[in-house]
Amino acid sequence: MTYWEIQADEFASCNCAYGCPCQFNALPTHGNCEAVAGYLIERGHFGNVPLDGLRVIGVMAWPGAVHEGRGRSLWIIDERASEAQREALLTILNGGETDPGATVWNVFASTMEERFEPLYKAIEIKIDIDARQGRLSVEGLVRSEGVPIRNPVTGDEHRVRIDLPEGFEYRLAEVGSATFKTEGPIPLAHQDSYAQFARIHLDNHGVVG
């Protein structure tokens, strides 16, 4: 197995209500799952292939709960990535070179029925985890905005975190609100739905640290 490791900031959102029942082993809010996730890789490598500074966005949809399968996925890879970097990222994101069930990417990959050909595009990503703010943008394909949840009475920012000591994606995530729209093979559109902001550190065997 080729050893890989990725440290990245993540801004992910789905069509569920704030909190996302999936985080608690419950069924999705509306019975299905539709999600967009962006990763700004701070440091990473796949064997001797460096992945520092690259950007990735995933668009995913399942007709029911994730674990029920029949999912569809599209990966959008930073156009600056070399051929070796593209192959490395797609291997990791499609669950390869990973212990079974060890990472969110491996788990999600096992539920996919249809994988669209990856796209290589200019990706804009801005993530401020502590402020619970994020932005993902790929011209003509993806636009996602993340902001803090607001108290419906006072309008003040409402801070909530999810702590998963044995999670396969993160240990701690800040929760916010997202509005996102995608075009292309998996068109999605949701407003004021679940968002999470997290620092992730993963390798072949799961969450590091």
Measure the CA–CA gap between 146 and 7, rounded to whole angstroms: 21
Q: Domain count for the chain, please give it.
A: 1
User: CATH number of the domain that 108 lies in?
Assistant: 2.40.400
Structural domain of 28: 4-207
b/e sequence 191-208, b meaning 16+ C-beta within 10 Å:
eebbbbbbbbbbbbebbe
| DSSP-derived 3-state class of residue 192 | strand
Residue 136 CB-density burial (10 A; 0-12 exposed, 13-18 middle, 19+ buried): buried
At a CB cut-off of 8 Å and minimum separation 6, what does 158 contact? 148, 149, 150, 151
Neighbours of 113 (CB within 10 A): 11
Q: What is the pTM of this model?
A: 0.97
pLDDT string in tens for the chain (209-residue length):
999 999 999 999 999 999 999 999 999 999 999 999 999 999 999 999 999 999 999 999 999 999 999 999 999 999 999 999 999 999 999 999 999 999 999 999 999 999 999 999 999 999 999 999 999 999 999 999 999 999 999 999 999 999 999 999 999 999 999 999 999 999 999 999 999 999 999 999 999 98
